[in-house]
Structure 1
Amino acid sequence: YNYRAVVLANHGQYEFPSPNSLMESTMFKGVSGDRANFALPLSKLGKTKLGPGELKLLANMTVVKRIDERKNAVIDYLEMIKSNRPNLGRVFLYDVEQLGDENVARATQFRNDLAAFLKLGNSLPPPGATNTNKDESPYKIDICSDIYTNLRSTLLQHGKEMSEWLLEYFIESDDVFVSDKDFVKNILRAYSEDPCQENLDMQG
């Protein structure tokens, strides 16, 4: 949300929907509470066994209100995928944190692993990027603010569910490759942690 708001403000657009209005499927420039959970799209790649426990976990990720009809539809859809698995080859999974990793040795290994995965002849150079999200702007929100407590709770629930599925099922697939598995696991575990907890502890 902050990235979109800063970019649009830099281009003269200054009216944005409240983040709290985006908790479910309502979208703002591709941003919504539902889209913050990317486990369901990844599950459609057919890289996991989609057993009963996994299907139940994925179905519970559908929408904030956890409507039974929607959950059953998700299970039916994933059952169909299980019976007709797409042949998409292996997947290289990474987190954006790895692109800006300040550990030189680990960052170099990441680029080497990615180059090898892509069957490139040479290693990749360090990525060059400008993070607009770091720009100061009155249109950015503080997710730790009390007015976003419900939104943060929703996103945290998404994070916990994604973390569980990614750790227990997705990255354990033989068809999914990660660079430095222990490091990636630590990143994924952090999805289930409240980024505002330290502030809350200090206030308490």
Structure 2
Amino acid sequence: MRPSAEALAHAVVTAALVAGLLAGYGIAVPVGAVATHLVSLTARTSLRTGVSAALGVATADGLYALAAVLGGSALATALLPVLEPLRWASALVLAVLAVRGVLSALRDYRDRRPVGRAAETPQGVGRAYLGLLGITLLNPTTVVYFTALVLGGSAGTSVTPLEQGVFVLAALAASASWQLLLAGGGALLGRVLTGRRGRLVTSLVSGAVILALALRMALGSS
């Protein structure tokens, strides 16, 4: 007996949901410079700031998933000439953030400033969101990744707008859940390392890791 049209539609939507979740976790889970910066930022400030920054990363992933679904091969072709400049720009931004974080930690340690969380002003929260959104958007690997998945998964088949929407929302949800988990880890780290020396060591290690990853990103473009 053939399955009904409703059963087929349900199966198709479920497949798109699973594909979107796998795609979102696939791009989000590998810990790179952005993830390291997210954890470090949350540890230095607050969970609220970290959540805003995490949602900025997830938003970028969702936008790139949407762009890949809508643009497909045309988008990938259009990005080819600017992939190398985008990688260099992303590496430069991350390097600047790493150096600024290390200098700020050294200044606080030298001046013996009291340890405390940064003020949670709306402007600071918004800046964290926009900052991580911008950094993630500068990474062309994300759109190439999603485009490859979309083109490979839809080869020879017709994809409906419903499937596209489910895929994008699932990818966004997967990325957001992972980034929020990283932010939570950063908040716990900030509570544990409450001493001046502990925060200094954390900032130095984080800065070194981000610089190394940024250098690797830049060299990978040549």
- TM-score in terms of structure 1 length: 0.26
- TM-score in terms of structure 2 length: 0.24
Higher relative helix content? 2
Structure number with higher relative contact order (C-alpha < 8 Å, ≥ 6 residues apart): 2
